[in-house]
Amino acid sequence: MAITELPESVENLNSDLNHAVRRIRGSNGFEAINSSDVCGSGAGFETVNDRSKSVGESSDGGSVANDGEESKETEETTTPYKFAYRASAPAHRRIKESPLSSDAIFRQSHAGLFNLCVVVLIAVNSRLIIENLMKYGLLIRAGFWFSSKSLRDWPLLMCCLSLQLLPLTAFLVEKMAQQRRMTERAVVILHITITTAAILYPVLVILKCDFAFLSGVILMLVACIVWMKLVSYAHANHDMRQLAKSIDKVETSDVDYSYDVSFKSLAYFMVAPTLCYQLSYPRTPCIRKGWVARQFIKLITFTGLMGFIIEQYINPIVQNSQHPLKGNLLYAIERVLKLSVPNLYVWLCMFYCFFHLWLNILAELLCFGDREFYKDWWNAKTIDEYWRMWNMPVHKWMVRHIYFPCLRNGIPKGVAILIAFLVSAVFHELCIAVPCRLFKWWAFIGIMFQVPLVILTNFLQNKFQSSMVGNMMFWCFFSILGQPMCVLLYYHDVMNRKSSAR
């Protein structure tokens, strides 16, 4: 077998062998190898292409090449292989750690192990899917994708469309403020009224109309997005007005803080995949139509996978469970753990569909350049890092319009973080409790419970200096225990409310 690559350079091997020979001669009295025998042009060398010679045979007795081309090739590939792989050549030259030792494990590539995990995961879940289908059959209803009953949700659709009138109202307010036809206090009051209507109007429509749960969740998510965009629009324009007034007083400044209230900028902002308003955004040069089509196919595929997992696995588990706070504790733990795996799959599919596929599709269609919609939150060492990386549009909005304004007004850093979590908890509760028509505050408590977890994981990270402790606690408390517990709590509370209403 021809050797095509040396493990070390020839010069290093020559040097190592010379040192070895000197040590042998000094200690055992052996005679040193003659330099002409070691470094000569013929002796001690073996040609890879010359298959007629046996190992150890001198090249002096070898046959001459028949033509010039073969001779040239032989000369180019002549390497001191015989010298390099002699028994006296040192095989151990440096101190090295095993690849899986604690000091070297994070410096190695584990792509092969990752591929093994993927293969095992596919094999195990394929067996479970086949076993479930053989035992229960296909549980997806005929009207899973579309049902005539969905037409009853048209008031929610009309509410969602009419919400777009609120940005137009905010634009008119800002236009009058720019033209100084309205006092700053009146502008603030009108913006508070507009943003409040963006939340209360959908809540009243949902509570009044009969609707599907998923339709209510979508409407509340749209309402929360509109609210956050309107807050950013009002706050950013207010800040630009203040900067423009300060520049008018100090005309020697070289910074241009002039701004224009443009309806085009507002319209682009309302559909762009961002929650932070600014006059212009980084733009891409063109739309990749083929790329968009591939992402749409992925979006449809993973949405269907989510529906399959919910209908085939989550619904039967939830329906055959008891209230987790009532009854046998071990039974409740068993139900939570059984629900955790399909719930985790649905949550990961939701993240991939929304934050990666849908937001990137929207950004591509609008030529929106900044597509950092998430960071590597799966490597988060603490709960604090996770909340700063998993949802970048909301994180940037929180930092820009909640956290730093609190710091500028003299509020301590810890209190500012608590306020940010409080705002997030309120909106999580609205998005779940309003469609369920049930205010038990489970989502609110779950988000606020992240505050002590942030303190705990930060303490453990500083104490043990390990990147794994906080990461494992995040997966355990947030994904394995927290989310399945909330699903069971809300499901049984909704069922109890419906049964008592009858």
Catalytic residues: 428
Q: Where does 253-352 have alpha helices with state H?
A: 263-271, 289-309, 315-319, 329-351
- 88, 25 contact by CB (below 8 A): no
Kindly report the number of other CB atoms within 10 A of residue 100's CB atom. Answer: 10
Residue 367, by phi and psi: left (phi above 0), alpha (psi -120 to 50) or beta? left
HEC assignment per residue over 209-228 = CCCCHHHHHHHHHHHHHHHH
CA 461 to chain CA mean position, Å: 21
Number of alpha helices (DSSP H) and beta strands (DSSP E) in the chain: 22, 2
Burial of 166 per CB tally in 10 Å (0-12, 13-18, 19+): buried
| Helix, strand, coil % in the chain, rounded to nearest 5 | 70, 0, 30
Q: What does DSSP assign to residue 149?
A: G
Separation CA 201–CA 223 (nearest Å): 9
Q: Dihedral sign for Cα 65, 71, 74, 79, please.
A: positive
Strand partners, 283: 368
Q: Where does 352-382 have alpha helices with state H?
A: 359-365
